Structure 1
Amino acid sequence: MQTLSEARLVFPREGRGRWPAKRRKILDWLVMETREERFIDNIFVELCQRLSEAGVPVARATLHFRIHNPQWIGARILWRKGLTEAEIDTYDYAVEDSAQYQNSALHEVNNGADAVRRHLDDPAADGPDYPLYAELRAEGLTDYIVWPLYHTLGKRHAITFASDRPGGFDADDIAFFSDILPALALVSEIRLKNRLARTLLETYVGPHASEQILAGATRRGSGVTVGAAIMICDLRDFTRLSDLWPRDDVIELLNGYFDAMSDPIERHGGEILKFMGDGLLAIFPLSDPCACSQLLGAIDEAQAALARLNEANLKKGHDALGYGIGVHVGDVMYGNIGSRKRLDFTVIGPAVNIASRLESLTKELKRPVLLSRAFVERGGCARQLENLGSYALRGLDEPIDVFAFSGAK
């Protein structure tokens, strides 16, 4: 297949005489006037509009970024002529094995091609006629080009431009693109790294803590006292299961368990602060007047999800998973704890300890969920509860009254 470099079109030295003032104007805007715009999709849309206004016949353009996200390997930003907003799609990790990706010009570029070009209105054009090309022809497009977009340390992303002009792009158009791509690479890398930093923080510490950290809460000991409903959950007999099951089965089990617990917590406004082996710690800030009822709603949904998970596990010949949940309410210190060089953004305080002790007590009382009187009186639980009596919890001077859902064993 003829690449752009073979056609002397990657960085042509001739043909730069047309529209030099317009090229300079776009470059100045891209480098100097996009500082206040956080989002690369908005910059990309305006860039395509400016190119079109300058006489470059761009009818469709895409940016393809590889990203670090637990769910997605990459994202595509798509602009079409006449649109004022971009379409943004994400792709999961399986896409690289798909026939659609393997049989594409984008795959060529990601695997080292300098660029790939296809004259869509030339039936005799050299090279593979990828399935995407038929879609582009159906849109009335005549020319399609894919370039790598280089970020620091050789990280490759990709950009595409397509034209609807008969004959497609000419040498001056290609020169126009080659002038702006290095500047676009710099501008896009800054925005992508900012987004990656936020994504990584959200992935590992949660959305609320990540906002605090990005806002500057990075000093050890910094924090605030907040009122919160606290939930601590732990998986039963995990040590035995991890000894008996193959490693991959154990990882699958844990991921299924955490999905069942985590999705309802996040849907109901809770914040998961940490995964602790086979357990998790979550809070529902009392700044939401419905925090306690939201926590109970999360537990209801999580128990239903765990029941479905256990049904699937039993069909596979595995034992059903047991779990214990301790629930309390009170003030917690929310902030940075740790060594001088390694911090953990979490919550601490007596209220967290009580929730932990209640979770441990579920083993003794054989009840999956235990709630403190303080939570019950605060939460206005609509479910019927059973008072199990007062229990002395380790580290507390006075016993506390413990409640469970009626009929739950």
Structure 2
Amino acid sequence: MTASDVHLAPGQRLGDEVVDWLTNGTRDERFIDNIFGQMCVRLQRAGIPVMRASLHVQINHPQWLGARMLWSDGMEGAEIARVDYDVRERSEYIGSPASEIVDGAEEIRENLARDPELGRQHAVYDDMRAMGLTDYVAWPIYHTLGKRHIVTFATDRHGGFDHAHIDALRRLVPVLALVSEIRIKNRLARTLLETYVGPHAGEMVLAGATRRGSGETVRAAIMICDLRDFTKISDNWPRDDVIDLLNGYFDAMVEPITQHGGEILKFIGDGLLAIFPLSQPDACANLLHAVTGARQAMAELNARHAESGRAPLRYGIGIHVGDVMYGNIGSRSRLDFTVIGPAVNMASRMEALTKQVGRPVLMSRAFAELVEGPFALERVGEFPVRGFSDPIELFAFEG
């Protein structure tokens, strides 16, 4: 279908119905990739011969820079691919249309049907020619405060896009910018909350749990971990080496915790606080699976340290179970979503006892009695605990 095949009402311009749909018909759709895919299908129905389109956005996730949404003829939605932070050092980016847009170009247009030697030289153009595409156009999408993203369209129409097609697509871009900014910032808010307070706490904050003092009582297994001799390390090591050490240590500890259903609530210097709510099946066993995985990861990390002449890292883990208050605590203008209560204090004291007892992982009897699974535990003894009137009975892994 081409522009000449589409019957337009007097005064109507090609693509106006797609602009109207983007403006008024997408309110209930949360995800920009779905909107983008539906938009491309509607462009085809409107007589604009789009056969391939992409939307490139920066998200600034801790692990990746952004995402590329790619739509091709016959697809209802768009496929999403993550973009790594080092993409700008790769050959597929250097000299690409995306790099030209990022560097300030306001429009990239490439006639793919002409002799390749006469056009821009880049693998992405060769790939599109191999798909039978004849014309390509890319524009920046502007978001608030000068943020620039990218949208591209390509066709296989003989002669490429005509003037009416380009005018319709160009009029679409500012509307797509408004629609995409809302969804991308929603995703960014969710990503930031997941990154800094955890997925469950992030969901609660997004759902409106933002009032100081609001929260709930949760029964949970509590894990507190601390790195040994960190003050000495941070005083004597170069700053970048200390940061690299901490990142490696937290990777070793955190990944097994999240894999087994735990939630990291807080990093405290070289320590961390995590919970496994007992509302989850096998929460206590999952915590010990996480600790087992973390110990293995730390052993591998220390083996790499030994190869580079570094001393092994030592740590202590205290594990307890009990009721905790889970919610917002802080000043009127600065809140922390965390857990508090005697059970948290006890787990902290137990972590400190690992130095005295000489075992890297200590568990309370209350926790050990709830554990089911292939774990061999042994009683270590009873020990007085600062701030508590009664001694606590401690358990550790056998051996």
Q: 1:183 aligns with which of 172, 175, 178?
A: 175
Match of 1:324 among 296, 301, 316: 316
> Which of 81, 93, 98 matches 1:106?
98
The residue that corresponds to 1:144 in the other structure is 136
Match of 1:153 in 2: 145
Contact 1:142 1:168 in 2 (8 A): yes
Q: For 2:29, which of 28, 37, 40 is the aligned residue?
A: 37
Give the Cα separation in 1 of the matches to 2:374 and 2:32: 47
Q: Report the Cα distance in structure 1 between the residues aligned to 2:47 and 2:363, rounded to whole angstroms.
A: 68
User: What RMSD over aligned residues (CA atoms) do the two structures have, in Å?
Assistant: 1.5
1:79 counterpart residue number? 71
* Residue type at the aligned position of 1:135: D
In structure 1, the partner of 2:3 is: none
Match of 1:134 in 2: 126
Question: Residue in 2 aligned with 1:266?
Answer: 258
**Alpha-carbon shift at residue 264 of structure 1 (Å):** 0.3
- Percent identity, aligned pairs only, is 60
> What corresponds to 1:6 in structure 2?
none
Query: Is 1:357 aligned with 2:349?
Result: yes
Aligned amino acid, residue 159 of structure 2 = G
The counterpart of 2:45, out of the listed 46, 49, 53, is 53
- Structure 1 residue 406 and structure 2 residue 398: aligned? yes
Task: Verify: 1:248 aligned to 2:240, yes or no.
Answer: yes
1:312 paired residue among 301, 304, 307: 304
Closer/same/farther in 2, CA of residues 19 and 207 from structure 1, 3 Å limit = farther
Change (3 A) 1:367 1:58: same
Deviation of residue 233 (structure 1)?
0.4
Verify the 8 A CA contact 1:205 1:274 in the aligned structure 2: yes
| Distance in structure 1 (CA, Å) of the matches to 2:125 and 2:17 | 33
Q: CA deviation at 1:159?
A: 0.3
Uncovered stretches (5+) of structure 2, i.e. residues with no partner = 1-7
1:103–1:131 contact (8 Å) kept in structure 2: no
Which of 94, 105, 122 lines up with 2:114 in the alignment?
Answer: 122
1:19 Cα deviation (Å)? 8.9
2:381 maps to: 389
SS of match in other structure, 1:68: coil
Q: Distance in 1 between matches of 2:53 and 2:281?
A: 47
> CA offset at residue 235 of structure 1?
0.5
| Offset at residue 86 of structure 1 (A) | 1.2
Q: In structure 2, how many angstroms separate the alpha carbons of the residues matched to 1:19 and 1:314?
A: 75
CA distance in 1, matches of 2:192, 2:281: 30
Distance in 2, matches of 1:234 and 1:294, equals: 20
Answer yes or no: is the 8 Å Cα contact 1:105–1:116 preserved in 2. yes
Q: 1:100 is paired with a residue of what secondary structure?
A: coil
TM-score between both structures, scaled by the size of structure 2: 0.96
**Aligned equivalents of 1:217 and 1:53: distance in 2?**
44
- How many residues in Structure 1 have an aligned counterpart in Structure 2? 392
- Choose which of 372, 387, 393 in structure 2 pairs with 1:380: 372
Label 1:44 to 1:18 Cα distance change in 2 as closer, same or farther (>3 A).
farther
Q: Could you report, residue by residue, the CA deviation over 1:342-387 in whole angstroms, capped at 9, with x for unpaired residues?
A: 0000000000011100000001111100000000011235322221
- Gapped regions of structure 1 (runs ≥ 5): 1-15
Which position in structure 1 is the counterpart of 2:186?
Answer: 194
- In the TM superposition, residue 17 of structure 1 has moved relative to its aligned partner by 10
Matched-pair contact (CA < 8 Å) for 1:73–1:93: yes
Shift of 1:36: 0.3
- Aligned equivalents of 2:150, 2:294: Cα separation in 1: 41
Kindly provide the CA deviation profile for residues 63-115 of structure 1, in whole angstroms up to 9, marking residues without a partner as x.
Answer: 00011210111110000000122110011111111122112111001110011
Matching residue within 271, 285, 294 for 1:279: 271
Equivalents in 2 of 1:341, 1:170: separation in Å? 55
